[in-house]
């Protein structure tokens, strides 16, 4: 009664090395996408991988892990207090804690990371530009990359997902994640995106939060809630699922 093995394993993409250019390039591999993506980063001595708290699946024992408050580079005392305050608020309302883990290794070693929700992981090599990520989209970074918290304004607060953004800039490697698949839209002029589906956008774009149209009736009855109206020229990344929608579908079904 020898069991027959079903074909196992996934087609594995080759290890990716960031494009040549200034700054560090991380040896990494994203597998199991698009539904259950996982990231593996092979660290070399002297490299530091910074990852969202709780994202680690596994690491070699020689890879050290240290928890830090995500206050940005060379943050002053005021920025640190602000980060602590935001960390507490976020702990209360859910989402990232803004504590991050720093992984370093004396010899080469690997770290495996994944987000909590089902979805994809994407890699971007930062070359001095600014990218703004919506709350929950940040997974990890390496190199000379700065993370700054941005407050989405009062209207952003109303829209829940728009309360905080993370502005990422600098030179290095960035991995971000989504709930569902990741699609991009090249905005030239103006484009509307449901704010629960927003993953991130290029820093040269601006947006306003507004209703999708149809006045008060449209806001209440269309099920579209609030949208972000982007202006300018640049790329916006969207996710094919919306956590807020899942929660409002699930809530009435609970005992």
- Given candidates 13, 17, 44, 67, which one binds other proteins under the rule CB under 8 A? 67
Report d(CA 89, CA 87) in Å as an integer. Answer: 6
- Given candidates 23, 24, 27, 53, which one binds other proteins under the rule CB under 8 A? 53
13-18: Cβ within 8 A, 24+ apart: 15/42, 16/123, 18/123, 18/125, 18/173
Complex with other proteins: residue 31 or 104, whichever CB lies closer: 31
Q: With CB under 8 A, what is the number of residues at the site for other proteins?
A: 46
Complex with other proteins: residue 117 or 167, whichever CB lies closer: 117
CB 207 within 8 A of CB 156: no
Q: Does 212 bind other proteins (CB under 8 A)?
A: no
Q: Does 60 bind other proteins (CB under 8 A)?
A: yes
CB 49 within 8 A of CB 41: yes
Q: Does 31 bind other proteins (CB under 8 A)?
A: yes
Q: Does 123 bind other proteins (CB under 8 A)?
A: no
Q: Does 254 bind other proteins (CB under 8 A)?
A: yes
Q: What's the start-to-end Cα distance of the chain, in Å? A: 45
CA distances from 7 to 3, 14, 25, 30, 37 (A): 12, 20, 34, 21, 20
What sign does the CA torsion over 236, 165, 30, 104 have?
Answer: positive
Q: Does 37 bind other proteins (CB under 8 A)?
A: yes
Q: Does 86 bind other proteins (CB under 8 A)?
A: no
- Given candidates 48, 97, 104, 240, which one binds other proteins under the rule CB under 8 A? 97
Q: Does 10 bind other proteins (CB under 8 A)?
A: yes
Q: Does 11 bind other proteins (CB under 8 A)?
A: no
- Given candidates 17, 44, 45, 58, which one binds other proteins under the rule CB under 8 A? 58
- Per CB under 8 A, the segment of 4-12, 18-26, 146-154, 220-228 that binds other proteins is 4-12
Report d(CA 123, CA 85) in Å as an integer. Answer: 30
**Smallest distance, other proteins to C-beta of residue 215, A:** 28
Sequence-distant (≥ 6) Cβ neighbours of residue 109 within 8 angstroms: 42, 43, 59, 60, 62, 63
Q: Does 157 bind other proteins (CB under 8 A)?
A: no
- Given candidates 50, 56, 137, 236, which one binds other proteins under the rule CB under 8 A? 56
Q: Does 5 bind other proteins (CB under 8 A)?
A: yes
DSSP code, position 63:
S
CB 55 within 8 A of CB 61: no
Helix (H, G, I), strand (E, B) or coil at 207: strand
Give the footprint of other proteins on this chain (CB under 8 A): 1-6, 8-10, 31-32, 35-38, 52-62, 65-67, 94, 97, 99, 101, 112, 114, 116-118, 243-244, 246-247, 250-251, 254-255
């Amino acid at each position: 009664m020898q069991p027959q093995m079903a074909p196992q394993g996934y087609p594995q993409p080759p290890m990716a090395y960031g494009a040549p250019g200034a700054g560090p390039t991380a040896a990494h591999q994203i597998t199991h996408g698009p539904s259950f993506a996982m990231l593996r980063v092979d660290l070399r001595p002297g490299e530091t991988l910074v990852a969202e708290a709780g994202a680690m699946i596994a690491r070699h024992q020689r890879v050290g892990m240290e928890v830090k408050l995500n206050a940005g580079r060379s943050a002053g005392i005021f920025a640190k207090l602000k980060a602590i305050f935001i960390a507490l608020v976020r702990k209360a309302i859910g989402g990232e804690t803004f504590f991050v883990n720093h992984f370093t290794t004396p010899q080469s070693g690997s770290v495996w990371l994944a987000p909590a929700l089902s979805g994809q992981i994407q890699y971007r090599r930062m070359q001095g530009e600014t990218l703004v990520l919506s709350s929950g989209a940040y997974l990890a970074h390496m190199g000379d990359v700065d993370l700054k918290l941005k407050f989405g304004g009062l209207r952003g607060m109303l829209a829940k997902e728009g309360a905080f953004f993370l502005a990422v800039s600098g030179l290095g490697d960035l991995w971000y994640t989504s709930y569902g698949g990741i699609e991009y839209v090249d905005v030239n002029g103006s484009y509307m995106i449901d704010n629960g589906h927003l993953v991130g956008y290029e820093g040269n774009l601006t947006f306003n939060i507004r209703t999708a149209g149809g006045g008060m009736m449209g806001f209440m009855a269309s099920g579209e809630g609030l949208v972000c109206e982007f202006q300018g020229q640049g790329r916006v990344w969207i996710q094919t699922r919306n956590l807020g929608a899942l929660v409002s579908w699930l809530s009435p079904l609970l005992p």
